[in-house]
Structure 1
Amino acid sequence: MLATVITSQEVKEWCRIDDDADDATIDLLILAAQDAASSFTGLLLDPLTCPAAIKQAIAVFVADLYANREGQTVGEKTFMRLLSPYRVTFL
């Protein structure tokens, strides 16, 4: 399994989720958000060296996807704003 830069427990704390009923969903959303963050920045994200802002962006995106399962997300701007300083651009 792919190592994630943020744990499901950290995400659950951010989302204020107290039970384990949606753990599988949260794990899947973490992987999707991490993949999106990696794609947006162009970085291979390492759990040991990942900046806090990228972890926070992933938590925000997971919370948004979790709360808005119909696909009408609102956290995308915050996600991109947190990730933009880490975006690798190629000339």
Structure 2
Amino acid sequence: MPNIITSAEVKAWCRIDDDADDAVLDLLIETAQEQAAAYTNTVLDAATCPSGIKQAVAVFVADLYANREGQMVGTQTFYRLLNQHRLTVL
């Protein structure tokens, strides 16, 4: 799945100025996108992805990056941003 946000966008959101953690950020972007796609029951496409989903992914990546011990604090924001895009599976 192609990334819906770039590592440059994530670095701007997280205020990261160097390239030392680029590989980590790429992995976190993939992880956040997988979570967003699973939660919304949608296939994410960079060309048509709503800004709310992109923002949710950025928030999730920032949270994973800052809280590597697993003590996430941005989970509520992530799901709140995704709720309006969630498709119900019957």
Unaligned 5+ residue runs, structure 2? none
Distance in 1 of aligned mates of 2:20 and 2:57: 21
Identity of counterpart residues, as a percentage? 64
Please provide the CA RMSD for this pair.
0.6
TM-score (norm 1): 0.97
Kindly report structure 1 stretches of 4+ aligned residues shifted beyond 2 Å.
none
- Per the alignment, residue 28 of structure 1 pairs with 27
The total of aligned residue pairs comes to: 90
Distance in 1 of aligned mates of 2:58 and 2:64: 10
What per-residue deviation string (whole Å, max 9, x for no partner) do you get for residues 5-51 of structure 1? 00000000000000000000000000000000000000000000000
What per-residue deviation string (whole Å, max 9, x for no partner) do you get for residues 30-74 of structure 1? 000000000000000000000000000000000000000000000
Distance in 2 of aligned mates of 1:64 and 1:70: 11
- Per the alignment, residue 17 of structure 1 pairs with 16
Unaligned 5+ residue runs, structure 1? none
Distance in 2 of aligned mates of 1:90 and 1:19: 42
